Amino acid sequence: MESNQTSGALNVASNAAIETGKLIVQSISKLDRIKITKKSRTEMVTEVDIVAEQAIIGMLDEAYPEYNIIAEESGDMGRKSDFCWIIDPIDGTHNFMHGHPHCAVSIALRHKDEIVAAVVYDPFRNELFSARKGAGAQLDGRRIRVSNTSRLSDSLLCTGFPYRDPAETKPWLKTFALILPRAQSIHRTGSSVLDLAYVAAGRYDGFWEFGMQDWDLAAGSLLVKEAGGLITDISGSTDVFRSGNAVAGNPKIHEKLSQFVSHST
């Protein structure tokens, strides 16, 4: 894929994310008037998720009408194309629903089996993380790199709770029990997309989570890799999309974190 293609796609995705972010910021002050649908005990969707997703799809379709789209709320459009947008309109819906301003718009472009462009936009901090395959990762146009922390005891880690599949709870708790006394601190923020963006920016040294979906991983995985980090599943495979289980971090912390995660599952 030509670099000018990914550059153009990244610009379109960035504009779509920023415009959608304005809607999210405006809406968080009107939560009492926003309709919420309960999909399960732990999974909710707000009307803002749906409106935001349709707005993103509209902007992407205007520029690339032939590309396929997979989005969290509307699913797979099923278009026959080597290119596919992967969208999460609000990663961190639980935070948003409670007025907690920690969530992000996530848009990634996949070409065949590779993520080639990624945008993660935090509308409340007005931070735009972006990456193109082979061209590095950026925050607001400035190059970012993973941290250089080498010892787990000096590391600030983050994780996500498994909530889709109850069978994942026990192995996750085992990993947490192993890692907690060995790390400096562990956060759980409620937005895996921002967690991975923060790993890429060196704000977190490592991350792990089980049971993630494509839209949880797509943009963040490219950010981490292009910032010099590693992201694998718990077996060490780089195909994190197959299992949905991910371990990410700078190379040294990733190695140490992977050992504990793999031994506990």
- Whether 88 and 57 map to the same domain: the answer is yes
Residues 207 and 77 in one domain: no
Q: What is the pLDDT of residue 28?
A: 95
* Amino acid 243: pLDDT: 84
Do 106 and 198 fall into the same domain?
A: no
Do residue 48 and residue 119 come from a single domain?
yes
Contact criterion met (CB below 8 Å) for 133 and 6: yes
Domain hosting 107: range is: 3-143
Regarding whether 253 and 217 lie in a shared domain, the answer is yes
12 plus 138 within the same structural domain? yes
Which residue's entry shows tokens 């080639």? 116
The model's pLDDT over 157-201, given as tens digits with 9 standing for 90+, comes to: 999 998 777 778 888 999 999 999 999 999 999 999 999 999 999
Among candidate residues 143, 172, 201, the one where a domain is terminated: 143
pLDDT at 265 over 70: no
Tell whether 187 and 107 lie within a shared domain: no
pLDDT tens per residue across span 127-147: 999 999 999 999 999 999 999
**CA 209, CA 229: separation in Å to the nearest integer?**
16
In this structure, the answer to whether residues 182 and 136 fall within a common structural domain is no
> Mean pLDDT for the chain?
93
Question: Quick one: 191 and 82 in the same domain?
Answer: no
Q: CATH number of the domain that 133 lies in?
A: 3.30.540.10
Report the pLDDT value the prediction gives residue 42, as an integer from 0 to 100: 63
CATH label of the domain that carries residue 222: 3.40.190.80
Same domain, 34 and 134: yes
Q: Record the pTM.
A: 0.94
pLDDT of residue 66: 97
Q: How far is CA 153 from CA 108, 182, 248, in A?
A: 33, 5, 17
**32 with 91, same domain?**
yes
Three state DSSP letters for 163-226: CCCHHHHHHHHHHHHHHCCCCCEEECCCCHHHHHHHHHCCCCCEEEECCCCHHHHHHHHHHHHH
From 143, 175, 191, the end of a domain falls on: 143
Q: Do both 8 and 124 map to the same domain? A: yes
Residues 6+ apart with CB under 8 A from 67: 60, 61, 79, 81, 83, 84, 85, 109
Where among 106, 125, 143 does a domain terminate?
143
Given a cut of 60, whether residue 1 has pLDDT beyond it is: no
